[in-house]
Structure 1
């Protein structure tokens, strides 16, 4: 073989290696967020709102960054003013442009205690939340029963529905209708119908918080005296927050208020709990619920503690 001769196959191999050498140093286009303190984070922007950027970074995984800390943005290698993203985010955040969303859960807790007093408890709680455009709807149903030594000590159910209509990105009007039936307390039936303004402080995939003030018409039916009808005001709140990359969810909801007149004075009903996902559709939940009513016929002080399993969708 003559020295220096290159076969066609060798020539193709060297050409392939040369092309690889030229292409290897070329960086892939990525997104870069420059922060106000001079730091930069490189990755892929997954989502952005007027309050938050969500970035899949190269080194730290998915990050959530407050929008106020982002100074400038390089979008696929080209610098784009932050104001352009904020304008687009505000437009996409208009209530009438909000997409359809639906979520719900069913929590069930069953307890049996065999001691000097045999106790059986069943607690079922169902929630459904649907939103699209300017409308948001929330349904809730619950049932609780307790037996001690085969004697019923508590037995009640409650249904509630709250429609909300947004008049701006954060302000809304809320209605609420609720009914509760209790077979063991002197306040055997409660029916309330209310309406009032509300304000959504924030609503992201990680956290949400809203307040509303309601003027309600109430009807209480008693086991030992005539029914009572009265008006009342109430402050209602809804809060949830995900922690540690959605490993835990803390949630709180409730309402408190006073009657303008009548035998019933102060009312307070609230629930606070923690939900831990076991799978994509099953979770473990722990919660405490309080139902207090100051009334001339009976001062109601019920506090329930729940530990159970939940199904999410």
Structure 2
């Protein structure tokens, strides 16, 4: 399903040395993307250039010339872009939001979100840890944490196998514990310095524990997405992550968990973060409908 969508959702990132134009001119830089109608090249002297494909006569990838008459597969797969040749990269951060409101209702709230991504060669690893607590008039209303780990193993430039293991503990909801283990195929539609988007389809094994009901175990399918995009010369980052799915059987039916937000850099290592998170579960024991809004500071590395 995902393989057929790649041509619809966006062009794939490439890297190049030199584009030779039909009039004899030469452009040297990094090709950010390539479609049947245009090339987008990041040059050191002139910035990002958009060139109509009809003006490109041939391309030289890292010293190896490829005529434009050759098949597209030869043009779009330089050796430096193969998964086994990808260099080590690591990024992460922690976002902290604190709130105190002294009004008709005295509210204390804290949110902590830790994330880490590591990639090298055919492997990419994502870690996530979160904690949320809220008191109103001295009474605890929310108190929960969640941990998740997702290894991804690429079998081509875009296709990969995606694994996920996650655990959540909630002291206030009837669904007190959640554990999920999943595996399935994924597709990286594009991944550049400016933007990235991937989808994964997972078969998951789930275990729900309840405060007032028997434990439940069930299989489910899940669709997971990861998206980010920088705007206005990388002053803003828009990101969206989440997953949705439905159980094959059992008391638990539909599940949906997603977060959408923006980050604004204040310094090279600190950012202002605003996000909205939704956690919904349709369940015969208790339907869960949580929507959280976060505004806080982040430290990035």
User: Aligning the two structures, in what range does the TM-score lie when normalised by the shorter sequence?
Assistant: 0.7 to 0.9
The CA distance in 1 between the partners of 2:227 and 2:290, in whole Å, is: 22
Residue in structure 1 matched with residue 135 of structure 2 by the alignment:
147
SS in structure 2 at match of 1:96: helix
Corresponding residue to 1:63 among 43, 48, 55: 48
**Is 1:286 matched with 2:274?**
yes
Corresponding residue to 2:242 among 241, 254, 261: 254
Residue in structure 2 matched with residue 266 of structure 1 by the alignment:
254
**Is 1:238 matched with 2:221?**
no
The CA distance in 2 between the partners of 1:133 and 1:177, in whole Å, is: 22
Deviations, residues 102-133 of structure 1 (Å, cap 9, x unaligned): 00011000011010110001000011000000
Shift of 1:49: 5.2
Q: 1:216/1:70 Cα in 2 relative to 1: closer, same or farther (>3 Å)?
A: farther
The CA distance in 1 between the partners of 2:257 and 2:55, in whole Å, is: 41
SS in structure 2 at match of 1:92: helix
Q: Which of the pair has more CA radius of gyration?
A: 1
The CA distance in 2 between the partners of 1:225 and 1:66, in whole Å, is: 63
Q: Answer whether contact 1:283 1:310 (CA < 8 A) is retained.
A: yes
Which structure has more RCO (C-alpha within 8 Å, separation ≥ 6)?
2
Q: Answer whether contact 2:66 2:75 (CA < 8 A) is retained.
A: no
* Unaligned ranges ≥5, structure 2: 1-16, 35-39
The CA distance in 2 between the partners of 1:128 and 1:229, in whole Å, is: 29
Q: 1:35/1:185 Cα in 2 relative to 1: closer, same or farther (>3 Å)?
A: farther
Aligned residues: 272
Q: 1:259/1:92 Cα in 2 relative to 1: closer, same or farther (>3 Å)?
A: same
The CA distance in 2 between the partners of 1:49 and 1:67, in whole Å, is: 14
Residue in structure 2 matched with residue 48 of structure 1 by the alignment:
31
Shift of 1:53: 2.1
Task: Spell out structure 1 runs of 4+ moving beyond 3 A.
Answer: 31-36, 49-52, 64-70, 72-75, 80-89
Q: Answer whether contact 1:72 1:81 (CA < 8 A) is retained.
A: no
The CA distance in 1 between the partners of 2:279 and 2:52, in whole Å, is: 39
Deviations, residues 139-195 of structure 1 (Å, cap 9, x unaligned): 000000000011100000000000000011100001000000000000000000000
The CA distance in 1 between the partners of 2:54 and 2:294, in whole Å, is: 40
The CA distance in 2 between the partners of 1:66 and 1:213, in whole Å, is: 36
Corresponding residue to 2:108 among 120, 132, 139: 120
CA RMSD of aligned residues (A): 2.6
Q: Answer whether contact 2:59 2:67 (CA < 8 A) is retained.
A: no
